[in-house]
Chains A and B, each alone.
Chain A
């Protein structure tokens, strides 16, 4: 064991920052087989693996790592898939530093195992070799279940229900599936071909997908009941953008991260005019916020030709909720950070185009209800930043389109659906999970919720028989 720790953590090769800021291709290129095996060999195979405790879906991490070490990649991927059906996605976007890798014992004195990169490696191995196995399903039982939304929570729930033999239909508002995975997270972080591939697997499992179907508009839940659906999973996410309440919000060039990222990712505005959707990126772009959404917006703006991109965040570097790796990548790419800074107003020219932003410096006070120290403005520290585009990435809320049309569904005071631990709502045949229950969270927690709900839906429908 003693020499294991001396081998240092393997690093994925990455696209050079000077090159990648001009393209939308993925940044880290993934482990080579050799690297994966070296990295897997560093694992101590702990009897009481702390990494598993840190994993929201309790993947048997030492087990899959052992298979990699022994070059049994098939077994490795199958082990992961028993717990997580979207490893190629999670390997890329999970905040491993606060989950599995954050708990790994090696991290206490040396560097933790690169669990995320290993997960990604085996998932890519399977996809690239085109030997992806379609999960086996129980014989069809012809009981219809509707899954609303097609983000990670819904994808997981639908796949599990299909495995149990249900006749599953997904209803998705947009013209493609994936939720935030396609409209939010950019191509250079999560190639859309991977998401499309997962959706494809779903259809191979017999799941039907209705696109352009906004539930609450084209069908209500009651309509779906009348159409013979016996149970419902709601995984519609938390998509409503929040705007800061500061003067100048009406100015042209001030937009929500959702709008900016949707234009760029979903509508492929980066290929305008080949694709029809336009996007405006000024010379200097300012992004407000400190999460993944802010970083994704900033790095997208850079790739769309901005000369300078500044992130303005009201807390300090330490409190930033973004994935560590992305912060690191953003810095490499030359994104500027103004920590402990908050906008006070946006200033426009005579045509209502934004040209400047007035900011104020902040300091950290007592911890607030989220446990993070509350930022407080410091008087007389106002200053001006010149900017041509302002992207607001300060969070999202629950979208009321569906819940408004289902008036007896119990919501909490912020408009999120109230459920118990297992995703049961106050209505017997309706289950929910993901961001619409928790507020903006993570891909893996949404998936976990989808899985739990599938188990409960199965129980509920079996008991009814």
Chain B
């Protein structure tokens, strides 16, 4: 989805995100900026329908307004020319935010080796876009409906055994990032490689004010994903805790959707009665 936000588009870089609120009663949710066009004044967001807000978002039509859009938030990733190639991994919806990182790194003269993965062929997107900024593009799906059958860590393992790599960037589900980090942290007999992961925890303000987005490092230090990240050194992150924390409002999310569906039904009924 493209949003017309000229000032944000002008300031956006790979790694930044926005916080939106759809209506007066809405919650504030973070969405990564997947692409931006400072001339057209637009930014692109890609989202998966998981909760009420994303459901509502998916029902918007062209030309509709979103009540609040704040950004660009978070730190842009550090762009420089690395000695060796950079591996960019996008898993599922994470393919979208991985794209601008690959693009900016390529523009800085880096050789990009990309791996994208999804559960099944239907959930893959932006293959051409990704290919256009990559030296090599490996596709994998869990069910083998396209590309290699398996998870992204398998091609990653192959690449880093065969080639020298300066940096790995992994964006996707927490579980995927956790396994990427286990592959590159030197514990698996493979060389240790710097790995950046992108955190997308529950947020409210996105400016360091609530601490809801905090994550802990393996050594127990507290950081805030919204202002210290969202892209952080994957080797330091306590993923198991993050995975548990990400589930903490699951029950309420279900309730919120139920409430919404209930409302929709009531409205449908009203409309029917009118006719």
CA distance A273 to B249 in the complex (A): 12
Q: B217 to chain A: closest CB distance in Å?
A: 10
Query: A residues 194-240 with Cβ under 8 Å of B?
Result: 211-214, 217-219, 239-240
Residue of A nearest to B258 (CB): A273
For A217, the chain B residues whose CB sits under 8 A away are 11, 71-73
Option from A255, A273, A400, A401 in Cβ contact (under 8 Å) with B212: A255
Decide if A315 is an interface residue (CB 8 Å cutoff).
Answer: no
Contact with B along A237-274 (1 / 0, CB 8 A): 00111010001011011011011001100011001111
Flag if A276 contacts B53 (CB, 8 Å): yes
CA distance A276 to B244 in the complex (A): 21
The listed residue with most A CB atoms (<10 A of its CB), out of B11, B214, B255, B260, is B214
Option from B25, B68, B73 in Cβ contact (under 8 Å) with A175: B68
For B7, the chain A residues whose CB sits under 8 A away are 218-219
Flag if A243 contacts B252 (CB, 8 Å): no
CA distance A214 to B253 in the complex (A): 28
CA distance A262 to B202 in the complex (A): 14
Q: B240 to chain A: closest CB distance in Å?
A: 8
Q: A220 to chain B: closest CB distance in Å?
A: 9
Decide if A321 is an interface residue (CB 8 Å cutoff).
Answer: no
- 9-residue interface stretch from B100-108, B114-122, B158-166, B203-211: B203-211
Decide if A128 is an interface residue (CB 8 Å cutoff).
Answer: no
Decide if B81 is an interface residue (CB 8 Å cutoff).
Answer: no
Number of A-B contacts defined by CB within 8 Å: 120
Flag if A276 contacts B25 (CB, 8 Å): yes
Contact with A along B163-187 (1 / 0, CB 8 A): 0000000000000000000000000
The listed residue with most B CB atoms (<10 A of its CB), out of A217, A252, A268, is A217
CA distance A274 to B23 in the complex (A): 12
Flag if A399 contacts B208 (CB, 8 Å): yes
Flag if B27 contacts A262 (CB, 8 Å): no
Q: A349 to chain B: closest CB distance in Å?
A: 11
CA distance A276 to B257 in the complex (A): 9
Flag if A273 contacts B209 (CB, 8 Å): no
Residue of A nearest to B244 (CB): A352
Residue of A nearest to B203 (CB): A259
Flag if A259 contacts B211 (CB, 8 Å): yes
Flag if B26 contacts A276 (CB, 8 Å): yes
CA distance A132 to B255 in the complex (A): 43
Q: B245 to chain A: closest CB distance in Å?
A: 6
CA distance A363 to B100 in the complex (A): 56
Contact with A along B60-91 (1 / 0, CB 8 A): 00000001111111000000000000000000
Option from A252, A274, A275, A399 in Cβ contact (under 8 Å) with B209: A399
Q: B244 to chain A: closest CB distance in Å?
A: 5
CA distance A214 to B209 in the complex (A): 12
Decide if A307 is an interface residue (CB 8 Å cutoff).
Answer: no
CA distance A249 to B252 in the complex (A): 23
Q: How many residues of B contact A (CB 8 A)?
A: 43
Decide if B238 is an interface residue (CB 8 Å cutoff).
Answer: yes
Flag if B259 contacts A259 (CB, 8 Å): no
Option from A247, A250, A267, A399 in Cβ contact (under 8 Å) with B241: A250
For B8, the chain A residues whose CB sits under 8 A away are 218
For A276, the chain B residues whose CB sits under 8 A away are 25-27, 52-53, 256
Flag if A252 contacts B222 (CB, 8 Å): no
In the complex with contacts A249-B216, A401-B227, A173-B207 CB distance below 8 A:
yes
In the complex with contacts A273-B255, A276-B53, A259-B210 CB distance below 8 A:
yes
Decide if A17 is an interface residue (CB 8 Å cutoff).
Answer: no
Contact with A along B190-227 (1 / 0, CB 8 A): 00000000000000110111111010100010100001
In the complex with contacts A211-B68, A262-B205, A273-B259, A250-B73 CB distance below 8 A:
no
Option from B53, B70, B244, B255 in Cβ contact (under 8 Å) with A173: B70
In the complex with contacts A243-B214, A243-B222, A280-B249 CB distance below 8 A:
yes
CA distance A23 to B82 in the complex (A): 59
Option from B210, B245, B259 in Cβ contact (under 8 Å) with A258: B210
Decide if B235 is an interface residue (CB 8 Å cutoff).
Answer: no
Chain A interfacial positions (CB closer than 8 Å to B) = 173-175, 211-214, 217-219, 239-241, 243, 247, 249-250, 252-253, 255-256, 258-259, 262-263, 267-268, 271-280, 351-352, 399-401
Nearest 8 CB-CB pairings of A with B: A278-B252, A273-B259, A212-B70, A259-B210, A256-B211, A276-B27, A239-B209, A277-B27
Q: Can you show 7 pairs from A to B with CB atoms below 8 A apart?
A: A241-B210, A262-B209, A268-B25, A277-B28, A278-B256, A280-B252, A400-B227
